[in-house]
A and B are shown apart, each in its own frame.
Chain A
Amino acid sequence: QSVLTQPPSVSGAPGQRVTISCTGSGFNIGAGYDVHWYQKLPGTAPKLLIYGNSNRPSGVPDRFSGSKSGTSASLAITGLQAEDEADYYCQSYDSSLSGWVFGGGTQVTVL
């Protein structure tokens, strides 16, 4: 049971927009700590997608965007493509655990 809650799965047709939520508490996201997002394909290492709530590293398509409000954060994927099928994880710091935590992960399926 992660302190950051993500939906187990989301799906969408090619070209559609999907969003993944990451819900925390006053000990993590609500305390003002940054949220970061990772994409993980089967058998490969996680890849940084968004850092500092809404910043994209060089090379990440602008179809991916992040936002944060209150005790939650969201990752949006616009113009969904088949190659976006993967697991997505949010990450932040939790003061009650005194460490960095990941969400449980969300599997994105392209219909």
Chain B
Amino acid sequence: QLQLQESGPGLVKPSETLSLTCSVSGGSISSSTYHWGWIRQAPGKGLEWIGSIYYIGSTYHNPSLRSRLTIAVDTSKSRFSLRLTSVTAADTAVYYCARLERSTSSWYDWYFDLWGRGTLVTVSS
């Protein structure tokens, strides 16, 4: 059974860079069937899609985060990563990595079928 596990610092200072890694085990990150993505949930708020990546490196970003966001994949290590620059308290959240699968032949119909447990990142000095 494929599993995803987030890792990274739990505390980041304001204006610095948040970096997280998602390790994929029990399956191939290089499958052409799936995308890989990041989602977050701020305290007391709903879910927010951050961005997604295909194994060949194609990326898709939430427009509200695009200028600060980098998502990359390392197929040799079966992991993908998230970098968010110039963080503020508003970036405090539980960050989840997830696998996306397509529900139809349309390029846009993707859903998050497997999730990591999530990791809390607090932005504070």
Contacts and interface: CB of A to CB of B under 8 A. Distances in A.
Interface string B42-79: 00001111001000000011110000000000000000
A97 B63 contact: yes
B1 interface: no
A92 B14 CA distance: 32
B104 interface: yes
Given A52-B109, A99-B63, A46 B103 contact: no
Interface in B90-125: 96, 101, 103-104, 106, 108-118
A93 B108 contact: yes
A91 interface: yes
B60 A99 contact: yes
A36 B63 contact: no
- Classify chain A: how many residues form its interface, as a range: 20 to 34
Contact of A36 (B39, B96, B103, B118): B103
Interface residues of B, number: 27
A51 B111 contact: yes
B46 A45 contact: no
B108 A33 contact: yes
Contact of A45 (B52, B61, B109, B116): B116
Interface stretch (A16-24, A75-83, A102-110): A102-110
B103 A45 contact: no
B111 A98 contact: no
Given A2-B46, A52-B103, A99-B63, A91 B109 contact: no
B49 A102 contact: yes
A38 interface: yes
A57 interface: yes
Contacts of B111: 34, 36, 48, 51-52, 91
12 contacts: A46-B96, A47-B115, A51-B113, A52-B103, A52-B109, A89-B47, A95-B108, A98-B63, A100-B37, A102-B39, A102-B47, A102-B48
Interface of B: 37, 39, 46-49, 52, 60-63, 96, 101, 103-104, 106, 108-118
Given A91-B47, A93-B108, A100-B52, 8 more contacts: A36-B103, A36-B112, A44-B117, A51-B103, A99-B62, A100-B49, A102-B48, A105-B47
